[in-house]
Amino acid sequence: MSTDPIDKLLDAAESGNRLIKNRDILHFTYIPEIIQHRNEELEQVTHSLLPILRQSRPSNLLVYGKPGTGKTLVVKKVILKIQDRVQNSDFPIKLIYTNSKEETTLYGLLVSFGRQLGLDEKDLPSTGLAISEVFKRLLNNIGQTKANVIFIIDEIDYLAQLVSKTGKDILYQLTRANERLDSGSLTIVGISNDLTFKERLDPRVISSLGEEEIVFPNYSMEQLKKILEERIKIAFMPKTVEDPALNLCAAMAGREHGDARRAIDLIRVAGEIAERKQADKVTETHVREASQKIEENKETTALQSYPLHEKLVILAVMKASGSSTGEIYSAYKELCKSIRQKELTQRRITQMLSEIELSGIITGRLVHQGIHGRTKKYKLTISPDMVKETFKNDLTLEDIV
DNA sequence: ATTCCACAGGAAACAGTGGTCC
DNA sequence: GGACCACTGTTTCCTGTGGAAT
């Protein structure tokens, strides 16, 4: 055996010292045979979509639940089953899934809808058209093919936001699309992380979209444990995950709000760390390391993905830590001057600051200073070294960090 | 009791890009 | 080739505000 680290790794790979035998199972898109603790919800979803099999229009459905409570999983599962059933009959059902978060614009969402309906670039160009025109073409297609379409909109709260910004009442039109259809039908299944999002909707939309509602409760620690056990059984080699490690995963994810996705992420990363260290079991220590690594990764990728001026603002906050918007703005202007960039207005910078604050990299505190006015004081929440480290390999920034 | 600071943050308008349609 | 469209990132303009100072 060599002591060279690369050799060591290669040796390990060769000797097959692996803890994880099936990585895919630890990925969030994997749909397990049995979805633990979600029987009731499965039944409810199936029930409300059932009418489509009897060729009548099912009611629109709204599904709520925090992230990692298995909402999407359950809906997808039901839909796969329905698709299975219908496959051999000539009864046209089309299932369409979109995620509002992945489509950045309303237009994009509708186009993605159209693509899955079978409209290509020629029938439905991905830019240039008026939204009402896109909508008309979609409905035309449904009418012509006489299809019964179930349109699943994941993270519908995002869509609601987009809609409110542009002032178009697409959600309303979608929910009422059936009134404009002579043949075929359109059913909406909305999935939302935010239980309060309904309050922000147009009441007309609520009445038709919220015909049926299903709320997914958070998982308890015990349930999380069960879910993990189930997945570990098929994803890991037998007896390679210690009980304390499992418990810790469940506890850490349970502390958030019963986020199963996070629990599974944790155990996956912990497994990978253990493999790399050539341990023969996944221990508590690995889980803790995994948790830390996930956090750090989140931060560095967030930092890297910011556009130039946001990065400058972060640097300005770092340089003038704990200071007011005004001071940060002057620090920012200095930075702009030194790299010969045109500076943006203060209004824009305040906006950026609150955007960055939302991501958690900085925190702001509103302070009233009497005659010295009111301002918001910002602080970095992550270590300055990390910022420097991340920005160092940015060509335009390397001189000023 | 008033005044007045130093911004926060909403609303609207605008410029620029990349597209369709006729 | 001109009218029109969606969308993003920005600027311009604006109203609002808690409390020290007067």
| Residue A169 near residue A39, CB atoms below 8 Å | no
Q: Residue A15's pLDDT band (boundaries 50, 70, 90)?
A: low
For residue A356 the two structure tokens come to 């960055």
pLDDT at residue A127 tops 80: yes
Q: Taking the C1' atom of C20, which residue's CA lies nearest?
A: A370
Provide DSSP, A211-265.
TEEEE-PPPPHHHHHHHHHHHHHHHBPTT-B-HHHHHHHHHHHHHHT--HHHHHH
Quick one: average pLDDT of A142-160? Answer: 87
In chain A, the N- to C-terminal Cα span, in Å, equals 43
Q: Which nucleotide is nearest to A109 (CA to C1')?
A: C6
Q: Is A18 left (phi over 0), alpha (psi -120 to 50) or beta?
A: beta
Q: Give the CA A374 to C1' C15 distance in Å.
A: 15
Average pLDDT, chain A: 88
Q: Give the CA A179 to C1' B15 distance in Å.
A: 40
Q: Taking the C1' atom of C13, which residue's CA lies nearest?
A: A347
Contacts by A99-103 with C-beta closer than 8 Å and gap 24+? A99/A154, A99/A155, A100/A153, A100/A154, A100/A155, A100/A156, A100/A157, A100/A158, A100/A159, A100/A162, A101/A154, A101/A155, A101/A158
Query: Residue A290 and residue A282: Cα distance in Å, rounded?
Result: 11
Q: Give the CA A100 to C1' C1 distance in Å.
A: 37
Tens digit of each residue's pLDDT (9 = 90 or more) over A278-295: 888 899 999 999 999 999
Q: Give the CA A159 to C1' B21 distance in Å.
A: 28
pLDDT at residue A2 tops 60: no
pLDDT at residue A168, rounded to an integer: 67
pLDDT at residue A316 tops 80: yes
Listed residue (A137, A195, A207, A146) closest to A171, CA to CA: A207
pLDDT at residue A219, rounded to an integer: 93
Q: Residue A13's pLDDT band (boundaries 50, 70, 90)?
A: low
Question: Which residues have Cβ atoms closer than 7 angstroms to strand B?
Answer: A 125, 127-129, 324-327, 346-347, 350, 353-354, 366, 369-376
| Residue A59 near residue A211, CB atoms below 8 Å | yes
Q: Taking the C1' atom of B5, which residue's CA lies nearest?
A: A373
Query: Residue A388 and residue A395: Cα distance in Å, rounded?
Result: 13
pLDDT at residue A17, rounded to an integer: 61
Q: Greater confidence, A18 or A328?
A: A328
Q: Give the CA A330 to C1' B6 distance in Å.
A: 14
Degrees to nearest 5, angle at CA A144 with A132 and A162: 30
Going across the sheet that includes A362-368, the strands are A323-324, A374-380, A362-368
Query: Residue A176 and residue A60: Cα distance in Å, rounded?
Result: 10
Q: Taking the C1' atom of C22, which residue's CA lies nearest?
A: A371
pLDDT at residue A47 tops 60: yes
Query: Residue A277 and residue A257: Cα distance in Å, rounded?
Result: 31
Q: Is A308 left (phi over 0), alpha (psi -120 to 50) or beta?
A: alpha
Q: Give the CA A120 to C1' B14 distance in Å.
A: 34
Chain B: positions less than 7 Å from a protein CB are 3-11, 18-21
| Residue A149 near residue A113, CB atoms below 8 Å | no
pLDDT at residue A16 tops 90: no
Parallel, antiparallel or unpaired: strands A93-99 and A374-380: unpaired
Q: How many helices (H) and strands (E) does chain A have?
A: 16, 8
Query: Residue A72 and residue A37: Cα distance in Å, rounded?
Result: 14
Chain C: positions less than 7 Å from a protein CB are 4-14, 16-21
pLDDT at residue A300, rounded to an integer: 92
Counting residues of chain A whose pLDDT is more than 90, the rounded percentage is 51
For residue A106 the two structure tokens come to 């309303």
Query: Residue A303 and residue A356: Cα distance in Å, rounded?
Result: 10
Q: Cα-Cα-Cα-Cα dihedral of A102, A104, A107, A108, to 10°?
A: -40
In angstroms, what CA-CA distances link A128 with A111, A125, A132? 12, 7, 12
Q: Residue A12's pLDDT band (boundaries 50, 70, 90)?
A: low
Query: Residue A55 and residue A46: Cα distance in Å, rounded?
Result: 15
Q: Residue A334's pLDDT band (boundaries 50, 70, 90)?
A: very high
Tens digit of each residue's pLDDT (9 = 90 or more) over A182-213: 888 899 999 998 877 777 777 777 888 878 89
For residue A78 the two structure tokens come to 């039901």
